[in-house]
Chains A and B, each alone.
Chain A
Amino acid sequence: MIEFSNLNKWFGALHVLSDINLSVAKGEVVVVCGPSGSGKSTLIRCVNGLEPFQKGGLIVDGTELGGSEARLRDLRMEVGFVFQQFNLYPHKTALENVTLAPIHVRKLSKVDAEERGRALLAKVGLGDKMGNYPHQLSGGQQQRVAIARSLAMQPKIMLFDEPTSALDPEMINEVLDVMVSLAREGMTMMVVTHEMGFARKVADRVIFMDRGAIVEMASPETFFTAPKNDRTRDFLSKVLQH
């Protein structure tokens, strides 16, 4: 489903991704963790073309990235992306946020889009907040609207870029619960997160990145109990302490 081959990316002189080789199968859930600045956000932003790269290849759902804008757009319809800062449209209600792309990109009728939107908002536990504007919602609620907005396009892959990092602690679980149920339904997911409980519960593989490279890749069981790399051990000792 997602196939990185020797992918390299530079920001000027800074080598942000170096020789990334990774393949994610359909239905697989991959958690990416690592210290800040390790390139994990950049890695998943490459998958839907938000970041260009300079060397190597990346094939997502049969589409080679780095092609035309039109093909990139077709790909993005199949790949949902959830941002750390939610990025909801503040001038639209929760329901309008969710139905915008289905109406204008998938060309659904307003009635059909709203039906789909209502079902999704209900699914993420916001059935009573459809008419609210983003500023009237808590962070956790906003992030759940953002997840529903991505799901409304019925994507084949979902990417999450630190979806709970901007949330107050008591709101983290409501977002993770939605992600867990999504994973159990068989969605192909790449999730950048430091929520190790989530990784243990649903991840098929956990990746540790440092300085732009994949340092360790293992099943959660092995990753948490017997990490091979020193830097992974060091990192885990810091995030698992609390």
Chain B
Amino acid sequence: MLGNLNIRVMLEYLPDIWHGFLATLMLSAAGFAGAIVLGIVACALSIQPLRWLKWPAVAYVDAIRATPLLAQLYFLYFGLPRLGVLVPEMVIGVIALSLNSGAYVAEIIRSGILSIQRGQVEAGMSTGLTYLQRMRLIVLPQALRPTVSPLIGQAIVLVKDSSLLSLISVVELTRAGQMIAIDRFMPIEGLVSTALAYLVLYYLLKLMAGLWVHQNRLPGRA
């Protein structure tokens, strides 16, 4: 099946795949940036004690985790115009990716914060540190380290999820691959080109994660 790949056609469509690659990269980066912001806010709200602030954050995380991304995407695609919000598909796509990933990011960060032993917080309290100082000086520097690997994992998931944006006619990598299939009736060539491009993205993320871990080794540990 792969033995008689039409390499010539694949090379011919390389510029389209390249544009799709860049589009996926941008969409994912924007989506993930939004997810981090949303995740931090949702997490902060869900761990603070005031119930009326906590409740919306918990509802958001539950609603997102309980429903498929595709449904969320269509919900925004058809729902936003009915609310009078007319924005390009690409923006809807980024919003959907951010909303979706944000819920998972919130849970990842929350698990990191909860992993810090209560005793350290009490030690901070006992020396007069305020809540924000305890968070900034004691909890967060330790809580964020174990979240880096799962966050990179979430970024990898987000890159692949962005392929769903092809369904609301955003031209990204998957859509670019479909063009080859549609123009030349060569679905396998299109899919292989797409898959290779996703693989490159995956290794880029993995490389970044590796570099981060290498540069941020725990102080005092080899």
Of B26-34, B64-72, B119-127, B204-212, the one touching chain A: B119-127
Query: Which residues does A use to contact B, with CB under 8 Å?
Result: 48, 50, 73-74, 76-77, 79-81, 83, 85, 87-91, 93, 100-101, 104-105, 132-133, 135-136, 146, 149-150, 153
Q: Which residues of B contact A (CB under 8 A)?
A: 117, 119-120, 122-130, 133, 137-138, 141-142, 218-221
Question: Nearest chain A CB to B131's CB is how many angstroms away?
Answer: 9
Contact B123 A87 (CB under 8 A): yes
User: How many residue pairs at the A-B interface have CB separations less than 8 Å?
Assistant: 70
CB within 8 A of A73: which of B122, B128, B218? B128
Report which residue of B127, B137, B218 has the largest number of chain A beta carbons within 10 angstroms of its beta carbon: B127
Contact across chains for B220 and A101 when beta carbons are under 8 A apart:
no
Contacting B127 at CB < 8 Å: which of A50, A77, A85? A77
Indicate if the CB atoms of B127 and A136 lie closer than 8 Å.
Answer: no
- How far does the Cβ of B2 sit from chain A's closest Cβ, in whole Å? 49
Known contacts A87-B120, A133-B219; A153/B127 CB under 8 A: yes
Query: Do residues A150 and B127 form an inter-chain contact, with CB atoms below 8 A?
Result: yes
Cβ A105 vs Cβ B122 within 8 A: no
Q: A77-B128, A79-B126, A105-B129 are in contact. List 6 more A-B contacts (CB 8 A).
A: A76-B126, A85-B117, A87-B123, A90-B142, A91-B218, A101-B127
| A105 to B127 alpha-carbon distance, docked (Å) | 8
B122 touches A50 (CB 8 A): yes
> Which 9 pairs from chain A and chain B are nearest by CB?
A101-B127, A87-B119, A133-B220, A81-B126, A77-B128, A87-B123, A105-B128, A76-B128, A73-B128
19 A-B interface contacts by CB (under 8 A): A48-B126, A73-B130, A76-B125, A76-B127, A77-B128, A79-B126, A81-B123, A87-B120, A87-B122, A87-B123, A89-B120, A89-B138, A91-B141, A93-B220, A101-B124, A101-B128, A101-B129, A105-B127, A135-B220
How far does the Cβ of A97 sit from chain B's closest Cβ, in whole Å? 9
Smallest beta-carbon distance A129→chain B, Å:
12
Chain B residue numbers with a CB within 8 Å of A133 are 219-221
Residues of A within 8 Å of B124, CB to CB, are: 101
